[in-house]
Amino acid sequence: MTQEIEHTHLPIRGLNLHVAQVGKDELGTVVFLHGFPEIWYTWRHQMLAVAAAGYRAIAPDSRGYGLSDQPPEDVEATWEDLVADVLAILDTLSIQKVFLVGKDYGAIPAYDFALRHPDRTRGVTCLGIPFSPAPFDFTTMPEGFYILRWREPGGRAEADFGRHDVRRVVRTIYILFSRAEVPIAEEGQEIMDLADLSTPLPPWFTEEDLDAYAALFEKSGFRYPLQIPYRALHRMKMQLDAKFQVPVLMVMGEKDYCFKFPGFEEAMRSGAMETFAPDLKIVYIPEGSHFVQEQFPEQVNDLLLGFLKDHP
């Protein structure tokens, strides 16, 4: 499936970032930003679909992920770096204006880029994470909530992950994150204890897909991925006066466990997002999980291509 996709490394702001690309840019360019525990490969279905429709698809491995370089350990991870990386990629490739597609934590720099650089943005599509004008507040969640566990700086997540090989860690997270329930450990449990090797993979995620993810995380490990997003969520900026000047498409699987995060459903169903994004369309996929772009690729591709064509 991925033979048509080309792979390069670009010198971006002191790091060599891995970038996957396909397509000829007849109608424009689409930049895909992944979440956790993802890399460029999460967008394989969408990249080929937009390329076939006449667009150029670009999917970087975020700094510290996959085949991209690791920032030095003493450098603080920031959301501003992710936005600056996207801008530098566009400048390096001499691309003036793009559509942005973000998933999971990749939605945060996608939204931020569109707000900061509307002159470089044709539109933004985000999956799973609504726009938030303030840092996410998880103080009402139980102690065993995975984000509270993984954002601890003392190495608890590293110790939990370190009990298993990389393939087992990615496998477990994919199983947990594809469910409708929020991953929460009981007292005496760690997050990796919530699934074992007898737990089947989601039917739409193959052993070969798992191999592709595991190979890339073997290279990067989890040190930086735990910094961004989990240990930087509290450093999201206040943007109470944000106003998108470009069209926004929000896609949410109704069985995405993130839908149960505090304030997420209200932000989407109450019309609160329209305060910040006047040209907003929200689409719900009834059986969609957190990995809706891999679970229902044709449905997501149709929505994405429709959005691109509606905003030439």
H-run or E-run covering 112: helix 107-116
> Which segments within 61-120 are labelled E, that is strand?
98-103
pLDDT at residue 76, as a whole number:
87
Catalytic residues: 104, 230, 290
For residue 253, the Cα-to-chain-centroid distance in whole angstroms is: 14
Q: Please state the domain extents for the chain.
A: 6-310
Any idea which residue has 């501003």 for tokens? Answer: 80
Indicate the pTM of the whole model: 0.96
Q: Specify the DSSP class assigned to residue 57.
A: E
Strand partners, 125: 101, 249
Tell me the two tokens of residue 139: 């103080």
- In order along its 312 residues, the chain shows pLDDT tens digits of 445 999 999 999 999 999 999 999 999 999 999 999 999 999 999 999 999 999 999 999 999 999 999 999 888 889 999 999 999 999 999 999 999 999 999 999 999 999 999 999 999 999 999 999 999 999 999 999 999 999 998 789 999 999 999 999 999 999 999 999 999 999 999 999 999 999 999 999 999 999 999 999 999 999 999 999 999 998 999 999 999 999 999 999 999 999 999 988 888 899 889 999 999 999 999 999 999 999 999 999 999 999 999 998
Neighbours of 23 (CB within 10 A): 24
Distance set, CA 248 to CA 176, 256, 262, 271, 302 (Å): 29, 20, 22, 13, 16
Residue 301 to residue 212: CA distance in whole angstroms: 21
Which CATH number is associated with domain 6-310? 3.40.50.1820
